[in-house]
Amino acid sequence: MTLATLSEVLQPALRGGYAVPGLVCLGWEDMRAYAMAAQAERSPVILQAGPSCRAHTPLPVLGAMFRNLAASVDVPVVAHLDHGYTLEECREAMDSGFTSLMFDGSRKPLAQNIDETAQVAQMAHAAGISCEGEIGFVGYSGGEGSAGTDPDEAAIFARQTGIDAMAISVGNVHLQQDHEGGLDEARIRAIEEKTTVPLVIHGGSGVPLAQRLHLAQTSRIAKFNIGTELRMAFGAALRDAVAVDPARFDRVAILKDTHGPVMEAARAVIRGLGASGKA
């Protein structure tokens, strides 16, 4: 079993000048490809169950799937709840075997976000697992706009919540399908001056590849969440698998053909964060 907590993979990343990929999972096929990619690259990996994943697969099932995959490899695997919105949801993930809880109170007033995140962090730490929080709001491509992280508020948030990692809003957006964005490095440096907690970038798919690696090597950003570009790789592979034989109807055979392309896409993400060989 190679299950790890978030702190157990992020602290070495801070010291080693790389970032750990938080890979957004939707089902068995992609999460298995991600675990195999981490094994092939000798990299730690964070398997993440976000709201869309939890909408069709119960948390106890996801926890068992993540733990099964962790047992099948010999690199560190974090079973991570992504964007938990309630204390009850976070508690269910903890009881389901997750080793890291991300509580998202970023839409709430600062005081409420601090109070509720601190409750989750306290619960997580009592169970020997990790907690990630978010300060500032990371918006969505074509949807809700972002609210950038204020460095002074970030310092207060990190200090008063006791979190192990802090997601920040510095020009990143969820669901971006290209790499034409770019993060506000001046804001990142201002946040770094006021806090020592490992930083997390949600919406990492939209960050230019060169900037991803640069920040992984030179900043306190120790985790990049990557979802959209891997979903795109899965979708392209699935379309190819169906098109190669329109008469084929066995879903197991069709989905099997997505494994190689998705695994290779995940390996590219890992290499692009400098995490290869760090397990």
Residues recognised as catalytic: 82
**CB-facing half-sphere around the CA of 113: CA atoms within 13 A:** 23
Residue 202: closest CA among 24, 4, 5: 24
Beta-strand relationship, 130-135 and 77-84: unpaired
Give how far the C-alpha of residue 254 lies from the chain's centroid of Cα atoms, to the nearest Å: 27
- CB environment 92-110: b (16+ within 10 A), e (fewer): bbbebbbbbbbbbbbeeee
Length of the chain: 279
Residue 41: closest CA among 231, 238, 278: 278
Beta-strand relationship, 221-226 and 20-25: parallel
- Tell me the Cα Rg of the chain: 18
Distance CA 85, CA 54 (A): 12
